[in-house]
Amino acid sequence: MHDHEPDALERRVQELESLLVKRGYVDPAALDRLIETYEHEIGPHNGAQVVARAWTDPDYKARLLADGSAAIAELGFTGRQGEHMVVVENTAQVHNLVVCTLCSCYPWPVLGLPPVWYKAPPYRARAVIEPRIVLAEFGTDVGMDVELRVWDSTAEIRYLVLPERPAGTEHWDAAALAGLVTRDAMIGVARIAAP
């Protein structure tokens, strides 16, 4: 249920959904199940669990960086669009940014559906050409002393950024840490702020 007036795009989606249901092309129960799956079973909360585990378990982190697919699967996050995962780590010296220049290849099992801006041609082009400017537009300043690496996801390989663990969280457990992790930090357009 929405507590706001739908915008033009939301209205178009609602009208299209209504038309597809009315004509018998879509089963409303199947559609509801699909939405429920992406809201509760697939999404950034899964990626946040992966990141929090890596922050609290050095052995898991080593496995994650060596073979992202296998380590992510250890936590039960597998499936379509997540078969071949590479995890890249942000540090004080290196900042990673993920883009798909061809379309919108994206690791659904750990990040859910891609945000609209990720699929938009301006992000796809500018993230490669002028990544520091794009990051600044997201509010993320990456100094010239930090190496910036841009990773191009493809149908064969998808990337997940392991953000830097924020200072002041040394004694936090994995569940509390997962609450700090954002989708944007796992794409690399944001950092996780210290609590």
Cα maximum dimension of the chain: 58
Q: How far apart are CA 145 and CA 93, in angstroms?
A: 7
Q: What is the DSSP letter of 151?
A: E
Catalytic residue among 18, 69, 105, 153: 105
DSSP symbols for 53-110 = HHHH-HHHHHHHHH-HHHHHHHTT---TT-SSEEEEE--SSEEEEEE-SSS----HHH
Interatomic CA distance for residues 2 and 185, integer angstroms:
27
Q: Which of 18, 69, 103, 153 is catalytic?
A: 103
Does the annotation mark 104 as catalytic? Answer: yes
Name the token pair of 125. 């082009």
β-pairing, 158-162 vs 85-89, is parallel
Catalytic residue among 18, 69, 100, 153: 100
103 part of the active site? yes
Rg of the chain over Cα atoms, rounded to whole angstroms, equals 18
Amino acid at 135: L
Q: Which residues are catalytic?
A: 100, 103-105
